[in-house]
Structure 1
Amino acid sequence: MASSKTPLVDQILHNFKAFQIRMLCSPETIASSKTILSVAATLTASAVLFRNIAYDLVPETLQGYFHSRLHKLTTCLSSQLTVVIDESDGLTPNQMFEAANLYLGAKLSPLTQRVKVHKPEKEKELAVTIDRDQEMVDIYKGMKLRWVLVSSPIDKPVSDRKSNRSDAFSRSEARRFELSFHKKHRNRVLSSYLPYILQQAKAIREERKTVKLHTIDYNGTDYWSSINLDHPATFGTMAMDPEIKKALIEDLDRFTGRKEYYSRVGKAWKRGYLLYGPPGTGKSSLVAAMANYLKFDIYDMDLKEVQCNSDLRRLLIGMGSQSILVIEDIDCSAELQNRELSNEAKSVEDDKVTLSGLLNFIDGLWSSCGDERIIVFTTNHKDRLDPALLRPGRMDVHLHMSYCSFSGFKTLASNYLQIQEHPLFEDIEDSLEKTEATPAEIARELMKSDNVDIALQGLIKFLQIKKEENLVALWTNNLS
């Protein structure tokens, strides 16, 4: 039965297709572009009508074959291609969907009739995205591309409906983007346009990113909890030696741009910094300035709160990429002084963090669990640290945070008093050459008055008193 009917269906389709070609190629048709569009629309509608009639007349045994042949015919009539981008693939979020959502939200047209607004948790700005069933047109290198966000209900099993699940994967609808364009642009869209959207979304995400400060919380997600980092420190406000500051910025820029380099040489994409110097020299502020410059989150780890070496690994895994791990006052951890322990001591130290555990944490196999990570150690006494910590690969860059220089003072004067020059600067420069004062001490004196003259005179007096106190202390030590 099927074999006898098949030639008939083929003949019908052949005649129908021949009729279309004659219509489109006739001189009368070619004479008018409007006529072409009208004929194409008529033929498309005719194909749909023909399909409906045929399904009533053609036996069920031939409908599958007939449908495939007719589908090819109607496809030939359309010049459009549609790419579907689902929101997720099972339990895995689709990065392409998230990138498109962010990209289109940043390019919303004033003609868009309906948008969607929400406030992400712990973020400062509202997120505006395209709403469902709203068409948006984008132009890329001469190509016209139409986007529509489509949603469809999800039929859940009865067991799921009765439960009170509220996780991300119990949604009542499935969302997807439908991207339509002329089929001749297929290769350019897949090879150029979609990667361009991923790149633009990454740039938008980095620009809008709110830097967060994470602290150890055993009840929190991955042993961490976070708040927004509102520290205003920048490299422009840091009272540092200009050459040291410039070298640090260049080193950070070089590090963040060497992903392929670290992969090629077989090293984890991380870098260690040691900030050492007396209290009040701006070590913590420098960490905040680095985070604000790179838009990296800060993970503040107090080793006294870490219970054991295995917790160190759990904390490391819980850190995100593009982050700064800060271990302050590393010299104050007494248990890190000696790596070799007696058998009796080992049983006592099993539930504590050891130097060996810390070394494996920052430079072992576990250190490769993440990309673009910076580890910053701070100390007031570099000489107290175990040499194993100081070697490259663990502390790659050593920065001495020293007492305030005259250039550092000028930065502070600009920050606190909003001045670039003053007649008293010469006296202050002379005093700073003879007296050791930290940036924190200088800043404290400048904050005592809004009157520039009074503030600077107070600073000069403070430096004179400090100089005399240092001389008395030196004399007393010589006598003893």
Structure 2
Amino acid sequence: MRAMESSVGGLLGGLNSGVVLSLIAVLWTVVWQNLQHLQLQHFFKRHIGRHARRLSALVDPYLSVTVAEYDGGGRMRRAEAYEEVKAYLADTTSRDARHLRAEGAKDADRLVLSMVDGEEVADVLLPEEGGGTVFWWAYSKPPPGQQQDRRWGGGGGGGDQDNHRFYRLFFLDRHRDVVLNTYLPRVRREGRAVMVKNRRRKLSTNISTHQFTDAGFMRTAWTHVPFEHPKTFATLAMDPARKKEIVDDLDTFKNGKDYYARVGKAWKRGYLLHGPPGTGKSAMIAAMANHLDYDIYDIELTSVSSNTDLRRLFIETTSKSIIVIEDIDCSLDLTGTRTKKTDDKPPKVDGDGRKGAAADTSSKVTLSGLLNFIDGLWSACGGERIIVFTTNYLEKLDPALIRRGRMDKHIEMSYCGAPAFEFLARTYLGVEDHELFADVGALLQEVDMTPADVAENLTPKSADDDADSCLRGLVAALEKAKEDKANGRGKDKQPDEDEGQVVIAQDQE
């Protein structure tokens, strides 16, 4: 009996132990799940990390701010802050650097100096900012194995890998507020002022529609040369009243930032220059750029393969610029009917004689893509831009392309009249009045002659030419043109309907 009781007791004890262990397991599972839900491990990690940061601050009390060459999401162009810091350091601290990089400046005899890779310079606060506090700027690029890392290069865009550079500012933790709220804003302001002072205006053109390299980084689609065209409104042959109207319009636009913001319009303006060849459309663009102190971007539409590439070109332009498409009637098939032309020519073939899409290298820019370029959503990316179209044949352009709001101001560049002739005579010959002025003015009412042709006749060809001989030569040229007109000779040959046209994909109605 005792043996039986002992066996039963052991069995019950075992069962009780099993139940207890099971309860413990269940409870532990519940507690562990709740611990995971509360993420206590992250709490301990943060707690430990906080102490680690405090310890590292005792060893290295410096903080840093990195100004990357390209913004985190900006794959199209350099960050403005980077350019401003570069200009500020070039102007204020380059004298302390041991190794410098030289670039051309606005003044052809000067150089703009900037830091090379690995260089460090010191800067201090102004007296009104606290004075005496030393900050350190370093210029560098990511290590080779980290050039595609966003935290180094700024988002994986904007240029070749080797060009993903950055400026880094080092300062003490106790100076955080003065650096972020006072010092860095001043650096940007002064940097912008230096950029204006040293700015060398550029004439840019698009050279490629292949925007991305094999590594996925975008190369710039623009190439540029210094813009040094001498034409100004003071030397532009045009009726003085019309010239003043254009200058006043340009000045109003340049000073109209607040106005455009108030009415809710992108800060841009379109100009359509139309008229016969030789009437000074290109000279007008140069005079506009010199008057406004703007860069020029000259777009060759036939080398733009798609609407996407056209947008990229626009995004890469800077503010304070004139975007030009010359002879747009010869670059696009923009007739008033907007009908798609049929092509009866045999299909293009590749080098092996096969048909295929690879053989089609024509542009796919459409009318809607061009309209979005002018006044769509993408046209508001940036500000203070002027868009200029030129054409010899206004009637060939689609009315939707040249309506107000897209091409806001239409400027007719006409044949030379008496006021323009008198201006040219003063400019080229230095004469205010002459007995032949009346004859020239009368002939110009009967004969169409461009300002370029008038100027050529007024240009002395030898040391013996004077004002009298040049004016008599102009009268003779005008009389000959009048005689040719009377005899039906000398009329300008009108181009065939398709002569000089590059047929580019049109939108369907």
> Shorter-normalised TM-score: what interval?
0.5 to 0.7
SS state of the match for residue 168, structure 1? helix
Q: In the superposition, relative to structure 1, how do residues 151 and 316 fare at CA in structure 2: closer, same or farther (>3 Å)?
A: closer
Give how far 1:337 is off. 0.8
Q: What do residues 24-80 of structure 1 show as CA deviations (whole Å, max 9, x unaligned)?
A: xxxxxxxxxxxxxxxxxxxxxxxxxxxxxxxxxxxxxxxx989969x89x9xxxxxx
Give the structure 1 partner of residue 238 of structure 2.
Answer: 240
Q: Does 1:149 align with 2:137?
A: yes
452, 458, 464: which one pairs with 1:440? 452
Are 2:63 and 2:172, in contact at CA under 8 Å, matched by a contact in 1? yes
The aligned residue for residue 427 of structure 1 is 435
Shift of 1:254: 2.4
Question: Aligned in 2, Cα 1:179/1:128: closer, same or farther, shift over 3 Å?
Answer: farther
Where does structure 1 lack aligned partners over 5 or more consecutive residues? 1-63, 75-80
Q: 1:323 to 1:459 in 2, by over 3 A?
A: same
Is 1:197 aligned to residue 187 of structure 2? Answer: yes
Question: Counterpart of 1:117?
Answer: 101
Q: Distance in 2 between matches of 1:433 and 1:152?
A: 66
Secondary structure, aligned partner of 1:454: coil
* 1:401 matches 2:413: yes
**Equivalent residues of 2:297, 2:323 under 8 A apart:** yes
Residues 404-442 of structure 1: per-residue CA shift (max 9 Å, x gap): 45554565456555x4x46xx323532442233432123
Of residues 474, 477, 498 in structure 2, which corresponds to 1:466?
477
In 1, the alpha carbon distance for the partners of 2:300 and 2:223 equals: 14
The 3-state SS of whatever aligns with 2:206 is strand
Task: Please give the root-mean-square deviation of Cα atoms over the aligned residues, in Å.
Answer: 4.8
Deviates more, 1:245-254 or 1:353-362: 353-362
Q: What are structure 2's unaligned runs of at least 5 residues?
A: 1-49, 73-77, 149-158, 212-218, 348-359, 490-509
Equivalent residue in structure 2 for 1:206, among 191, 196, 209: 196
Q: Which amino acid aligns with 1:426?
A: H
Q: Which residue in 1 is equivalent to 2:154?
A: none
User: Which digits, 9 at most, give the CA deviation of each residue in 1:329-387, with x for residues without a partner?
Assistant: 23345721144437978xx9996555444334323334334433221111223344333
Q: Assess, with a 3 A threshold, how the Cα gap between structure 1 residues 191 and 414 changes in structure 2: closer, same or farther.
A: farther
Q: Which residue of 2 aligns with 1:127?
A: 112
How far apart are 1:397 and its partner, in Å?
0.6
Which sits farther off after the overlay, 113-122 or 397-406? 113-122
Q: In 1, are the aligned partners of 2:299 and 2:323 still within 8 Å (CA)?
A: yes
Is residue 367 from structure 1 mapped to residue 379 from structure 2 by the alignment?
Answer: yes
- Mapped to 2, the partners of 1:168 and 1:275 lie a distance apart of 42
Q: Cα 1:412–1:338, aligned 2, differ >3 Å: closer, same or farther?
A: closer
Structure 1 letter corresponding to 2:339: L
TM-superposed CA distance for 1:283, in Å, is: 0.7
Letter in 2 for 1:429: F
Amino acid in the other structure paired with 2:452? A
**Alpha-carbon distance in 2 for matches of 1:236, 1:192:** 44
Kindly indicate whether the alpha-carbon contact (under 8 Å) linking 2:237 and 2:424 is maintained by their aligned counterparts in 1.
yes
Going from structure 1 to structure 2, the CA distance change for 1:227 and 1:182 (only over 3 Å counts) comes to same
Whether 2:73 is the aligned partner of 1:88: answer: no
State the alpha-carbon separation in 2 of the partners of residues 307 and 382 from structure 1. Answer: 25
Checking the alignment, whether the CA contact within 8 Å between 2:94 and 2:113 is kept in structure 1 is no
- Matching residue within 162, 166, 169 for 1:168: 162
SS at match of 1:267: coil
Q: Give the 3 Å change call, closer, same or farther, for CA 91–400 of structure 1 in structure 2.
A: closer
Distance 2:270 2:52 in 1: 68
AA aligned opposite 2:443: T
Q: Percent identity, aligned pairs only? A: 37
Distance 1:459 1:435, change over 3 A: farther
1:416–1:361: structure 2 CA closer, same or farther, 3 Å change rule?
Answer: same
TM-score, length of structure 2 as denominator length: 0.62
Instruction: Judging by fraction of residues, say which structure has more helix.
Output: 1
CA distance in 1: counterparts of 2:187 and 2:439, whole angstroms: 57
Instruction: Rate the CA distance shift 1:83–1:359 in 2: closer, same or farther, 3 A.
Output: same
Answer with 224-233 or 132-141: which moved more: 132-141
* CA distance 1:141–1:289, shift in 2 (3 Å): farther
Q: Distance in 2 between matches of 1:379 and 1:369?
A: 26
Q: Give the secondary-structure state (helix, strand or coil) at the position aligned to 1:268.
A: coil
The 1:297/1:439 distance shift into structure 2, 3 A limit, reads: same
State whether structure 2 residue 273 is matched by structure 1 residue 262: no
Question: Deviation string for 1:299-349 (max 9, x for gaps)?
Answer: 32344444555554454444444332222223345721144437978xx99
Alignment partner, residue 275 of structure 1: 273
**Shift in alpha-carbon separation, 1:201–1:412, aligned structure 2, 3 A:** farther
Distance in 2 (CA, whole Å) between partners of 1:197 and 1:474 is: 66
- Helix, strand or coil at the partner of 1:426: coil
Alpha-carbon separation, structure 2, partners of 1:291 and 1:182: 48
Q: Tell me which amino acid in the other structure corresponds to 1:205.
A: M
Number of equivalenced pairs: 396
The answer as to whether partners of 1:307 and 1:353 remain within 8 angstroms in 2 is yes
Q: Secondary structure at the match of 1:335?
A: coil
